[in-house]
Structure 1
Amino acid sequence: MPRRKLEMPAHFTFTTELPVRISDINYGGHLSNDAMLSLIHEARVRFLNQYHYSELDIEGIGLVMTDSTIIYKAEGFHGDVLQVDVTVSDLEKYGFDFYYLLSNKKSAVEVAHARTGMVFFDYSRRKVQEIPQGFRDRMVKTA
């Protein structure tokens, strides 16, 4: 089976730092895959918060994740601090992609590249919605 590749954007618009907690470590002694998805979720929430958005309220509409890709580059260990760079890309009619670059803050070694596909979703009607124009305008302006 061929290995997946992930083309990363050249520019990221947001940076945050997240510690690797003991609960993030698996039986192999390194950062687990489920914890990695949790870490990028936290980074996504922080990204949205800078615009006073939440995953349930972006211009009155929520988000739902449709898919995710994580490419591991190096191990992460308890006590590491990860720098997580985040950006939005590939805006379409109903959704877009978040991209995440996770690096060890101390050594600058890249730990993972990740992407999550998102669509706008009206939870009260249980239906996919078009990207709100205000969100689109903000993301295009910061790109």
Structure 2
Amino acid sequence: MARVHLDLPEHFAFRTEMRVRVGDINYGKHLGNDALLGLLHESRVRWLAEHGQAEFDCFGAGLIMADAVIVYRSEAFLGETLIFELATADFSKYGCDIFYRVSERDSGREVARAKTGIVFFDYDARKVRGVPEDFQRLFSLPA
């Protein structure tokens, strides 16, 4: 079976920490894949908020997640603190990719790599729109 390979950017523009909660644990007694996607979402919301933006109104446009890729590198367990690092890359006319590196804070163990493709959306017109210039100017530069 071919495995997905995900190369990460060299520079990450944002970093936040979150603890693995009991509701994040699955029957295998480790972080569930559904929970990790939710934690990636939370890290993205925090990143935007640091710049006074939100997913529904990011420089005048909404964000929609078009795709997601997660590559698991190790398990994460109840009570561990995870570090989420975010970076943008691969800008197009309508969106970009957000890359995530997830690691366990105390050991530095890499837990996962992820990428979400986002497109900008005009919720009033119900259609895709171009990347806001302010977003690209702010987030396309290395940290």
| TM norm. shorter chain > 0.5 | yes
Give the distance between the partners of 1:141 and 1:89, measured in 2 at CA.
9
Q: What is the TM-score with the length of structure 1 in the denominator?
A: 0.97
Does structure 1 retain, via aligned residues, the 8 Å contact 2:11–2:142? no
Q: What is the TM-score with the length of structure 2 in the denominator?
A: 0.97
Give the distance between the partners of 1:108 and 1:19, measured in 2 at CA.
14
Task: Give 5+ residue unaligned stretches, structure 2.
Answer: none
Task: Tell me by how many angstroms 1:59 deviates.
Answer: 1.3
Q: Which residue does the alignment assign to 1:21?
A: 21
Corresponding position: 1:80 with 2:48: no
Q: Which residue does the alignment assign to 1:67?
A: 67
CA deviations 1:93-118 (Å, max 9, x no partner) are: 00001100000001100000000000
Give the distance between the partners of 1:128 and 1:11, measured in 2 at CA.
28
Task: Tell me by how many angstroms 1:60 deviates.
Answer: 1.0
Give the distance between the partners of 1:23 and 1:9, measured in 2 at CA.
31
Give the distance between the partners of 1:52 and 1:138, measured in 2 at CA.
12
Q: Which residue does the alignment assign to 1:48?
A: 48
Query: Cα RMSD over matched residues?
Result: 0.9
Task: Give 5+ residue unaligned stretches, structure 1.
Answer: none
Letter in 1 for 2:6: L
Letter in 1 for 2:31: L
Q: Please give the secondary structure, in 2, of the residue aligned with 1:128.
A: strand
Give the distance between the partners of 1:124 and 1:136, measured in 2 at CA.
22
Give the distance between the partners of 2:94 and 2:46, measured in 1 at CA.
22
Does structure 1 retain, via aligned residues, the 8 Å contact 2:12–2:142? no
Give the distance between the partners of 1:139 and 1:103, measured in 2 at CA.
22
Give me the identity figure in percent: 47
Task: Tell me by how many angstroms 1:123 deviates.
Answer: 1.0
TM alignment of 1:1-143, pairs within 5 A: 1-143=1-143
Task: Tell me by how many angstroms 1:137 deviates.
Answer: 0.9
Give the distance between the partners of 1:73 and 1:140, measured in 2 at CA.
27
Letter in 1 for 2:101: L
Give the distance between the partners of 2:141 and 2:88, measured in 1 at CA.
11
